[in-house]
Structure 1
Amino acid sequence: MRIARWTHNGHVGEGFVIDDRVIGFADGESVTEILARGLEGAREAQERVLHQLRESEAPALLLADVALLAPLVPASIRDFVAFEEHVEGVSAGVEGKSHVAPEWYEAPTFYFTNPHTVHAPGQELRPPVTERLDFELELAAIIGAAPAVGESNLTATDAASVIFGYTIMNDWSARDLQAREMQVRLGPAKGKDFGTVLGPWIVTADEFEQYLDEEGFLQLRAEVRVNGELLGEDLISNMGWPFPELVAYASRNSRVISGDVLGSGTVGNGGCLGELWGRNQGLVPPPLKEGDVVAMSIEGIGDLVNRVGAPQAAPELPPARRRTRQRHRTHRGTA
């Protein structure tokens, strides 16, 4: 099943992509509601829509006639860093040598990014003012209904059962902003939270069973091109952990809920420019600029294409003020 959101003549539609058409859910349901019902609920919803199609009761639109939106409104977005090759390349650019910290191997690290700046397929990106704009090619898992055991401290087996489907994720990055703020031992923050693209649709997890290897890794080919030139290609199965283990880790002493998005982190072998800059010891290929077109594809899902627009300047803020560090207020007498 392919599940999408779209606009047509000023109206938002949510439903299934079937062949070259989009068909809204029966009874005006939303993607959020379908995710909460899990895969079985989605299959029932699809059967109702297919019945309506057979009876000519469901209005269908050509996919080519609608503008796709992000396929869901995320409850949250966790972004992992699960590809060792990506870490090797980026560290070479930051530290001058390729290095993977021993701590990386101990557990799948992630950060939370901004669910309020999710872009649509085909939407033009308005980046901040940056000298090092970058893309990041990722596969993202979408969480559906939780199992009977709940949403916390899941085993990998239980975690696999809450993965509703997958979509492509482009984690746009301003590397110069990111490098500055991460010197404070936090982040990334403003180097990341201006834009994440999800799409073009959610493909349900059952469609990927043929790609699973014996350890549960997805052997999907992933590619990224800039202005038609292939810059990166990898297999998703090169992740250090399969997706159920990422979900299980996210749920440790916490919760994963329907509508959560978990990014794999950037694939290796050119999944972002930052990795290539580290390996080439310079800005080769060059950072993204206005007019560049970034096209991502992942086997079994499709293509995600966006164009870089003009940068958007933000109001200036002053640097931190030096303070006296006094511990008591200065007493002021009354007149």
Structure 2
Amino acid sequence: MRIARWVDGADIGEGFVDGATVIPFPDGLRVAEVLAQGIDAASALFGRRDLAAARPLADVRLLAPLVPASIRDFVAFEEHVEGVSASVDGKSEVVPEWYEAPTFYFTNPHTVRATRDVVPIPETQRLDVELELAAVIGGVPGSDGENLDAASVAAHIFGYTVMNDWSARDLQSREMKVRLGPAKGKDFAMTLGPWIVTVDELEPYLDADGFLAVRAELFINGELIGDDLVSNMGWPFPELVMYAARNSVVVPGDVLGSGTVGHGGCLGELWGRRGALDPRPLEPGDEVRMVIEGVGEIVNVVGERVPAPVVPRARERSRQRHRSEVAGSPAGR
């Protein structure tokens, strides 16, 4: 099954992509509700779909396939870490801690874009993209999604979608020197789409170790920049979900990105390996196309830079500990 959201004239539709058509869910259900009910309930809904309500896919504009409850983005590809660390941090390395656990960061669920959107960008001179596969969490009867173990975790993966983690590498490099982030280097945009493909559709691509051996490709202005197999990630998706839920909780609608695939899944990796901005950073008007086998493709055009209010530098402060010691304070008058 493929699940999507779309604009059809003045209406927003949510339902199934069935061949070259879109069909609204029965009973006016929304994607969030279907995710919460889980994969078995979604299969039952698909059996009840109203073919008379179908609309040509070509006649609607796809939205992001869900409004995420949260977005965790992992860094699960060793080859990506090797390359991009040089361009962001100035040193190519994979620290020993990377191998101990599948590290992630939380990013902004409020700036999610759809395929075919023009994506406005901040005032960056090193705009980059990151090609990823993302898992979408669904509901499981009797489970609250907390502290999931290996035996139960896979059932919480409802499906997969393509992810582009847009990245301003110059902003990211500055803020990560403060030992936090990435923050504003990633805050402005994340593309998800074109739809959610349910987990059963990708089962034929599972290798003997439980990794998804689907091919991922990045094209910029029609040129193939990088390609990889998603099975090159250091942990399979159920282990990413298990780590996310460790002493925590995952809920329906959560999105978990794999991290950037290796072998040119982003420009930053190539900059680090080549020691130069080759290929050049993205500029307004550039087209970015990402394709993942068995899932689909997303296409975006880079929009114009959007100036933002200037934030002042930190002020030098006295480090006094009592108001009475500060000249002009009420207690000192």
TM value normalised by structure 1: 0.96
- The answer for the alignment partner of 1:257 in structure 2 is 251
Q: How does 1:299-314 map to 2 (within 5 A)?
A: 299-314=293-308
- The answer for the alignment partner of 1:203 in structure 2 is 197
- The answer for the alignment partner of 1:230 in structure 2 is 224
Quote the Cα distance in structure 2 between the aligned partners of 1:238 and 1:301: 17
Note the aligned Cα RMSD (angstroms).
Answer: 1.3
Quote the Cα distance in structure 2 between the aligned partners of 1:300 and 1:169: 14
SS at match of 1:308: strand
The equivalent position to 1:129 in structure 2, one of 111, 115, 123, is 123
The yes-or-no answer on 1:327 pairing with 2:321 is: yes
The amino acid that maps onto 2:38 is G
- The answer for the alignment partner of 2:31 in structure 1 is 31
- The answer for the alignment partner of 1:7 in structure 2 is 7
Structure 2's unaligned 5+ residue stretches are none
Residues 139 and 167 in structure 1, CA contact (< 8 A), matched pair in contact too: yes
SS at match of 1:44: helix
SS at match of 2:119: coil
Q: How does 1:151-230 map to 2 (within 5 A)?
A: 151-230=145-224
- The answer for the alignment partner of 1:63 in structure 2 is 57
The equivalent position to 1:104 in structure 2, one of 98, 109, 112, is 98
- Cα displacement (A) at 1:214: 1.3
Quote the Cα distance in structure 2 between the aligned partners of 1:297 and 1:157: 31
User: Runs (4+) of structure 1 moved beyond 2 Å?
Assistant: 92-98, 146-150, 330-335
Q: Tell me: CA distance 1:170–1:334, structure 2 relative to 1, closer, same or farther (3 Å).
A: closer
The equivalent position to 1:148 in structure 2, one of 142, 147, 158, is 142
The yes-or-no answer on 1:85 pairing with 2:84 is: no
Residues 88 and 268 in structure 2, CA contact (< 8 A), matched pair in contact too: no
Instruction: Please identify, of 92-101 and 318-327, the stretch whose mean Cα deviation from structure 2 is larger.
Output: 92-101
The amino acid that maps onto 1:82 is A
The amino acid that maps onto 2:37 is R
Residues 147 and 158 in structure 1, CA contact (< 8 A), matched pair in contact too: no
The yes-or-no answer on 1:239 pairing with 2:237 is: no
SS at match of 1:184: coil
Q: Tell me: CA distance 1:264–1:147, structure 2 relative to 1, closer, same or farther (3 Å).
A: farther
Structure 1's unaligned 5+ residue stretches are none
- Cα displacement (A) at 1:22: 0.3
- The answer for the alignment partner of 1:46 in structure 2 is 46
The amino acid that maps onto 1:222 is A
CA deviation map 1:87-146 (0-9, x unaligned): 000123245443100000000000000000000111001000000000000000000013
Count of residues paired in the alignment? 329
Quote the Cα distance in structure 2 between the aligned partners of 1:117 and 1:39: 27
Quote the Cα distance in structure 2 between the aligned partners of 1:44 and 1:266: 34
Residues 207 and 213 in structure 2, CA contact (< 8 A), matched pair in contact too: yes
TM value normalised by structure 2: 0.97
Q: Tell me: CA distance 1:149–1:5, structure 2 relative to 1, closer, same or farther (3 Å).
A: closer
CA deviation map 1:153-179 (0-9, x unaligned): 111331101000000000000000000
Quote the Cα distance in structure 2 between the aligned partners of 1:334 and 1:228: 68
The amino acid that maps onto 2:126 is R
The yes-or-no answer on 1:113 pairing with 2:111 is: no
Quote the Cα distance in structure 2 between the aligned partners of 1:264 and 1:104: 14
Identity, % of aligned positions: 65
Quote the Cα distance in structure 2 between the aligned partners of 1:243 and 1:179: 28
